[in-house]
Amino acid sequence: MQAFELDLVGKRQSLADIIANIQTTTTPFTSMLAKRTKPINQPHSWQAEIYPDVDSIGVPDGQDVEKFDSVPRYLLQVYSQKFWRNPAVSDFADEAEIAGAAGGEMARQKAVAMILLKRKMEQQCLSADDTAVNTGTVGYTTRGAFCWISNAAQGLQSTFPVPTQVQTPAAQIYTDILANFKEGTANPGTGSGFAAMCASSYIQRKGPLTMDAFLGIYLKQVFTMFTTYAENKANYTSVRQFMRPGDDKTLEAVVDELVTDTGVIRLHPSSYLRKNTSTGADTAYTHRSGIVVDMDMCGLAYTRLPRIVPQEYKGGGPRAICDAIAMLMFDNPLGAMKMEIQS
């Protein structure tokens, strides 16, 4: 009798050497942050200052000095936070031959642990969590960007609130719904729209600047719509145009950089904004919110660089600790902007 493939016994499984994961490993914020000098102790501190307004009155000839001046400084502080992801596999699992994992199951789990460790750091740095001291049951916590950028004091005195003089002005913080977030060019100087936020930031900085925005994907799409729609203004006619080469059959619908009167803003989509700290799950804020920061005014300071430490073999299989200790430093949050949008 003829043998048919469907009835064959002993066929080897056809399994490709591929382990597919659709989730990107991109962590733009912590990747772009400058890596600062290692903190030597907890907490870590630095100073911020603001140049005051000064008069330009002429000094009369022969007048003696009767009044002296100085510029005060303000102390900012934050704790470092320990992050870890600890891989382990059983004895038999480590000896198994795994398609797509030529180095074995433990080697694959170590590689994944390093990726997830970086995600933990990205998530915390883009959180709204305040800095907190170690209690024995809760570990040290570093302050997230959405907490640094605030018009009110953070937490209690024990959590090192940002001094009032360098807190972010309310005009640079948007908390309304996503549908109401507008470009804001129709009525300059009225305090409405993203343009007004940029103008407030410019006024604090006293000049134009290149800044970077980290945006949830829904908010990023709103920025892209700035090229498609223009706001209406009574008794005016819109002259906005959107052009592309006639022989180009590609429709481009993306904005990655804004060049404005107040400076240049580079736009980066992010999937790790204001996630749930306990579970890592998305929240209502994750894909609608965003921050705009001067990357020279913030940095990532490692107390311990990411590492993998193999643990003692006790018979059950290989184990390891993958960890790092780091903090998010915000040198001076006065010029930053925040869109904290829940719906």
The total domain count for the chain is 1
More confident residue, 288 or 101: 288
| Structural domain boundaries enclosing 332 | 28-47+73-233+251-339
| Highest mean pLDDT: which range of 218-232, 247-261, 267-281 | 267-281
Please identify which residue in the block is written with the tokens 């908390």.
175
DSSP H helices in the chain: 28-32, 91-95, 105-125, 145-148, 193-205, 217-224
Would residue 15 count as lying in a domain?
no
Would residue 238 count as lying in a domain?
no
Say whether pLDDT at 191 is over 80. no
Q: Tokens in use for 53?
A: 């307004």
**Cβ atoms < 10 Å from Cβ of 144:** 23
Q: Using one digit for the tens of pLDDT, what is the confidence trace for 204-241?
A: 999 899 999 999 999 999 998 876 666 666 665 666 66
Q: How far apart are the C-alpha atoms of 291 and 149, rounded to whole Å?
A: 8
Q: What is the largest CA-CA distance in the chain?
A: 121
Judge whether 226 and 256 are in contact, CB under 8 Å.
Answer: no
Would residue 77 count as lying in a domain?
yes
Distances (CA, A) of 57 to 54, 60, 187, 194: 9, 9, 35, 36
Query: What's the average model confidence in pLDDT over 158-177?
Result: 90
Would residue 102 count as lying in a domain?
yes
Q: Using one digit for the tens of pLDDT, what is the confidence trace for 112-157?
A: 999 999 999 999 999 999 999 998 888 999 999 999 999 988 765 5
Q: How far apart are the C-alpha atoms of 288 and 269, rounded to whole Å?
A: 11
pLDDT at 7: 63
Q: Using one digit for the tens of pLDDT, what is the confidence trace for 47-105?
A: 998 898 888 999 999 999 989 999 999 999 999 999 999 999 898 888 777 766 677 88
Backbone angles phi, psi at 75, to 5 degrees: -90, 130
Please identify which residue in the block is written with the tokens 């929240």.
283
Distances (CA, A) of 123 to 94, 109, 135, 282: 30, 21, 22, 10
Would residue 195 count as lying in a domain?
yes
Residue type, 5: E
Would residue 86 count as lying in a domain?
yes
- Collapsed DSSP state (helix, strand, coil) of residue 278: coil
| Strand locations in the chain (E) | 34-36, 44-49, 73-78, 81-85, 173-174, 209-215, 257-260, 263-269, 290-293, 298-310, 320-330, 337-339
Task: Classify residue 148 by burial, with Cβ atoms within 10 Å: 0-12, 13-18, 19+.
Answer: buried
Which sign does the torsion angle of CA 169, 172, 71, 332 carry? positive
- Collapsed DSSP state (helix, strand, coil) of residue 244: coil
Would residue 244 count as lying in a domain?
no
Would residue 65 count as lying in a domain?
no
More confident residue, 231 or 201: 201
Global pTM? 0.86
